């Protein structure tokens, strides 16, 4: 068996760790690029969502490199993720590519069902080894989340943004190479130390923006034109409603482990605005925006693929959240046609807006302090 998996940002690091630990031969598809997207778009239905098209591009590439089995997550509920597997199989078969699909999801609501699927991929490896592999991979997911947040902190503050990107690139490589929990911890510590050692803008207080929305576009820099890097360079410290460990813990481990940032409370927070699930992370998007408003963030950016059904529902509700909790919200759609320049222009305009609102708030507060009222 030569296994592969579709990309989604840094998720390749923990997934590769799982295979490495279990000595499973695997194929890592080339990172997402314009070529991947064009390959996927060419062979996907026109109305398919952007992540689907990128997945198809990844799988065609991986099959060309000799992969014969795909490990992917599946979904339940009213969004297209639930039939990604079947549709991908049909498209690939039509192209003469025969890949066996192993879908990782708790099929009967139990972690045992999930572990059985991993055991199937691991071809008879003992349970002890499988549990060890899951822990090792999850340890890397947690570390990746921490590293991403360190980078979120550093980007708006560093005098030389190029150095932050170099530190980030090194951290990704080192985390991939880490062989045990001690080495994983060391990569996080080293990244933090390197960021502390950079020259920072003195007395600079960045704006704080939360990003909510569809998980793939949130986690995969190619699909969102590297919005996090752009925001950082515009002087914004950001946070996301979803980090990979939070997603794994909620959807795969069913809350049994501790995630870097939990997302389980987002559904509850969403209830005054959206009381039921609409598939994907639509409800969590609303809850995430409420969370950022309560935590005093200066604005929220909602990211979604153009034809994403759950997030379209969320987009229609977010104006109410914005009005009722008085937080500016901007919605950004991405698809294979969207360009980086257009995105940057909209980001600059939004940041300008929230910066002015914040300065106005400060002026009013100052006036109240001096003149009373
Ligand atoms: S959440 Fe949206 S983008 Fe993701 S699979 Fe569902 S419809 Fe597609």
Domain boundary among 98, 125, 152: 125
In this structure, the answer to whether residues 105 and 158 fall within a common structural domain is: no
Q: Based on the domain organization, do 94 and 153 belong to the same domain?
A: no
Q: Is 254 left (phi over 0), alpha (psi -120 to 50) or beta?
A: left
Say what the pLDDT of residue 105 is: 62
Quote the Cα angle for 207-213-216, to 5°.
Answer: 115
pLDDT band per the 50, 70, 90 thresholds, residue 78: low
- Which one has a higher pLDDT value, 339 or 218? 218
**362 and 245, same domain (yes or no):** yes
Q: Are residues 163 and 287 in the same domain?
A: no
Nearest CA to 14 out of 265, 259, 271, 287 is that of 259
Rg (the chain; Cα; Å): 21
The residue contributing the CA closest to ligand 1 atom 5 is 81
Pick from 149, 170, 204: which residue ends a domain?
204
Measure 310 CA to ligand 1 centroid, in angstroms. 7
Do residues 98 and 228 share a domain? no
Does 85 contact ligand 1 (Cβ within 6 A)? no
b/e sequence 229-259, b meaning 16+ C-beta within 10 Å = bbbbbbbbbbbbbbbbbbbbbbbbbeeeeeb
Calpha distance 80→33 (Å, rounded): 23
Which residues form the domain of 171? 138-204
Residue nearest to atom 3 of ligand 1 (CA): 308
Q: 120 and 175, same structural domain?
A: no
Question: pLDDT tens, 96-155?
Answer: 999 988 876 655 445 666 677 778 777 778 989 988 999 999 999 999 999 999 999 999
Residues 169, 264, single domain; the answer is no
Q: Ligand 1 centroid to 365 CA: how many Å?
A: 43
Rounded mean pLDDT of 294-306?
A: 96
- What's the CATH code of the domain at 227? 3.40.50.11900
Find the mean pLDDT for residues 200-221.
96
Please check whether residues 371 and 280 belong to one and the same domain.
yes
Do 318 and 221 fall into the same domain? yes
Mean predicted confidence (pLDDT) in 71-81: 71
Q: Kindly give the number of the ligand 1 atom that is closest to the alpha carbon of 217.
A: 3
- At residue 251, does pLDDT exceed 80? no
Q: What is the pLDDT of residue 372?
A: 66
Shortest-distance Cα residue to atom 1 of ligand 1: 280
Number of domains in the chain: 3
Shared-domain flag, residues 230 and 297 = yes
- The reply to whether 131 falls in a domain is no
CB atoms within 10 A of CB 356: 10
d(CA 162, CA 164): 5
**Quick check: 22 pLDDT over 80?**
yes
Q: Are 84 and 52 in contact (CB under 8 A)?
A: yes
328 touches 293 (CB < 8 A): no
pLDDT at 25: 92
Give CA–CA dist 51/184, Å, rounded: 29
The reply to whether 171 and 66 lie within a common domain is no
Residues 221-233 have pLDDT tens digits of 999 999 999 999 9
pLDDT of residue 159: 97
| 133 is a domain residue | no
Distance CA(328)–CA(209), nearest Å, equals 10
- pLDDT tens digit string along 146-180? 999 999 999 999 999 999 999 999 999 999 999 99
CATH of the domain at 32: 3.40.50
Kindly report the CATH number assigned to the domain that includes residue 167: 3.30.750
Question: What pLDDT, on a 0 to 100 scale, did the predictor assign at position 172?
Answer: 98
Q: Are residues 175 and 231 in the same domain?
A: no
Residues 6+ apart with CB under 8 A from 114: 104, 105, 106, 107, 252
Q: Is residue 321 part of a domain?
A: yes
Is the CB–ligand 1 distance for residue 214 below 6 Å? yes
């Amino acid at each position: 068996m030569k296994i592969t998996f579709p990309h989604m940002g840094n998720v390749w690091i923990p997934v590769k760790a799982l295979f490495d630990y279990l000595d499973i031969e695997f194929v890592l598809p080339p990172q997402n690029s314009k070529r991947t997207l064009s390959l996927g778009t060419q062979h996907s239905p026109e109305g398919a969502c952007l992540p689907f098209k990128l997945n198809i591009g990844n799988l065609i590439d991986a099959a060309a490199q000799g992969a014969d089995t795909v490990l992917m997550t599946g979904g339940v509920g009213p969004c297209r993720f639930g039939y990604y597997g079947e549709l991908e199989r049909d498209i690939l078969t039509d192209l003469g590519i025969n890949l066996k699909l192993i879908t990782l999801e708790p099929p009967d609501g139990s972690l045992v069902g999930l572990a059985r699927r991993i055991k199937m991929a691991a071809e008879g490896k003992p349970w002890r080894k499988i549990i060890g592999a899951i822990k090792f991979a999850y340890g890397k997911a947690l570390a990746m989340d921490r590293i991403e947040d360190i980078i979120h902190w550093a980007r708006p503050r560093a005098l030389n943004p190029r150095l932050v990107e170099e530190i980030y690139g090194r951290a990704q490589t080192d985390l991939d190479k880490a062989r045990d929990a001690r080495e994983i911890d060391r990569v996080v510590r080293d990244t933090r130390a390197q960021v502390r050692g950079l020259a920072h803008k003195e007395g600079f207080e960045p704006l704080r923006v939360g990003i909510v929305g569809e998980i793939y576009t949130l986690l995969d820099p190619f699909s969102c034109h590297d919005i996090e890097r752009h925001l950082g360079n515009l002087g914004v410290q950001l946070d996301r409603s979803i980090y990979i460990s939070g997603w794994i813990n909620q959807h795969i481990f069913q809350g049994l482990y501790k995630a870097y940032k939990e997302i389980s409370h987002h559904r509850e927070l969403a209830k005054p605005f959206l009381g039921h699930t609409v598939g994907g992370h639509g409800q969590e998007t609303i809850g995430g925006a409420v969370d950022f408003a309560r935590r005093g963030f200066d604005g929220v950016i909602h990211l979604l693929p153009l034809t994403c059904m759950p997030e379209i529902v969320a987009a229609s509700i977010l104006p109410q959240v914005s009005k009722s909790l008085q937080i500016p919200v901007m919605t950004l759609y991405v698809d294979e046609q969207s360009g980086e320049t257009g995105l940057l222009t909209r980001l600059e305009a939004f940041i300008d807006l929230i910066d002015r609102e914040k300065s106005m708030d400060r002026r009013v507060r100052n006036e109240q302090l001096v003149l009373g009222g």
